[in-house]
Amino acid sequence: MSAGDAAPLPDLDDIRQAAATIAGAVYRTPAVPALALNAAFGLDIVLKLETLQRTGSFKERGAFNRLSRLTEAERARGVIAMSAGNHAQGVAYHAQRLGIPATIVMPLDTPFTKIERTAAYGARVRLRGTGLGEAREAADAIAAAEGLVFVHPYDDPWIIAGQGTLALELLEDFPALDTLIVPIGGGGLISGIAIAAKALKPGIEIVGVQSRQFPSMYNALRGLPNPVPAQTVAEGIAVKEPGRLTKRIVERLVDDILLVDEDHLERAIEMLLTVQKLSAEGAGAAGVAALLEYPSRFRARRVGVVLCGGNIDARLQASILMRGMVRGGRLVRLRAEITDAPGTLAKVARIIGDQGGNIVEIFHQRLFSDLPVKLATLEVVCETRDMGHVAEIVAKITEAGFATELLSHRALDGRP
């Protein structure tokens, strides 16, 4: 088996050989019943925790398998990869372990945490272009100029075989699973999983998940144009164009591809952390986002969900958690009309405190308002228990003679 567009597709034997190659070098991650999520969704879910890999994602599997196939001459020349972060870390980490010089080209908008970690593994990092397409062009130019071996993030049979080892482990641990939900970027992970899973258990259903902002594989299988680059919290699967090899495999073996919106991706990240106590990046949480957006699709199924990556930027994670508090009515913004007189502000604050609310921020506006001169606008951001608690606080402030309204609340609208 050799890399390239005309390469034969990997099979179960190739994946089993990859499993033997990576054994002892790549962590055999646990698969665990998602007890808290099961209670929330009413489903039977198992999570494959690739977030626990040394570099925080499944990419190590394919990277080590590919690097292990290099000749001595190729090892001496060094390798180059382009990646938004996880493939970069996988290649850099194992290249360092194997004594192979590595250059990684990353898009300019790659999260800082992924850039720092990649450099920490000893790779030479170059930031080039907007998105993976431009980064790939820069990587090709550097590879040609310096004679480096290009390690593709997904469209390589050795990479695909390495990623497929995940399915061998998952079905060995939980053979009764009848559905696997797998995020799709370029398609390397789902291709490897589909090859292994369908060979071991032909009736198993393989469901891919993509962000609606980047439905590249979804569009490719339907003859639709490549997506226009857009912002997504799932930058790890924000691939403009899928691979040629992976498209062939997905077309043949993947049963369905679901598209999820940004709101559900955010909710999935938040839910994994607050309910299941697991940290995942946007791409890693895509499978849970599919459960949130399409709950009836998986009723009465035994579902394996791949948490493929955990390298989320701390600031982004913090913002998502705070937005989750807003959605759940646990962080709200109230506006009240008050008299501009001594003691009024303290009275409103006392009412909120007496009702168990915690004031986070307060804005007292006298000048920039259309109210009469003897009135003022008071805006209060406060922590509450839930929307019922908010209603109690608003009612008490209103009863005290201050007209009060709730601002900028994003309701849960009944979803888990």
Give the pLDDT score at 367. Answer: 63
pTM for this model (two decimals): 0.88
pLDDT tier for residue 389 given thresholds of 50, 70 and 90: very high
* Mean pLDDT, the chain, whole residue set: 91
Contacts for 384 with CB less than 8 Å, ≥ 6 apart = 329, 330, 331, 332, 356, 357, 358, 390, 393
What percent of the chain is modeled with pLDDT above 90?
75
Residue with tokens 């895509």: 286
Q: Delineate the domains of the chain, giving CATH numbers in brackets.
A: 12-57+161-323 (3.40.50.1100), 59-150 (3.40.50.1100), 331-407 (3.30.70.260)
111-138 tens-digit pLDDT: 787 788 899 999 999 999 987 778 889 9
Give the pLDDT score at 137. Answer: 92
Question: Token pair of 201, please?
Answer: 């258990």
Give the pLDDT score at 226. Answer: 84
Reported in sequence order, the residue ranges of 223-280 that DSSP labels E, i.e. its strands, are 256-260
* pLDDT for residue 152 is more than 60: yes
* Diameter over CA atoms, the chain: 83
* pLDDT for residue 4 is more than 50: no
Which whole number is the average pLDDT over 267-277? 96
Check residues 54 and 374 and name the one with the higher pLDDT. Answer: 54
Which whole number is the average pLDDT over 365-390? 82
Question: Token pair of 92, please?
Answer: 């850099």
How many CB atoms neighbour CB 282 within 10 A? Answer: 27
For the ranges 71-85, 119-133, 243-257, the lowest mean pLDDT is seen at 119-133
For the ranges 58-62, 129-133, 213-217, the lowest mean pLDDT is seen at 129-133
CA distance 90 to 81: 10
* pLDDT for residue 240 is more than 90: no
CA distance 167 to 187: 15
* pLDDT for residue 284 is more than 90: yes
Read off the DSSP letter of residue 368: S
287-319 tens-digit pLDDT: 999 999 999 999 999 999 999 999 998 889 999
Question: Token pair of 390, please?
Answer: 């908010």
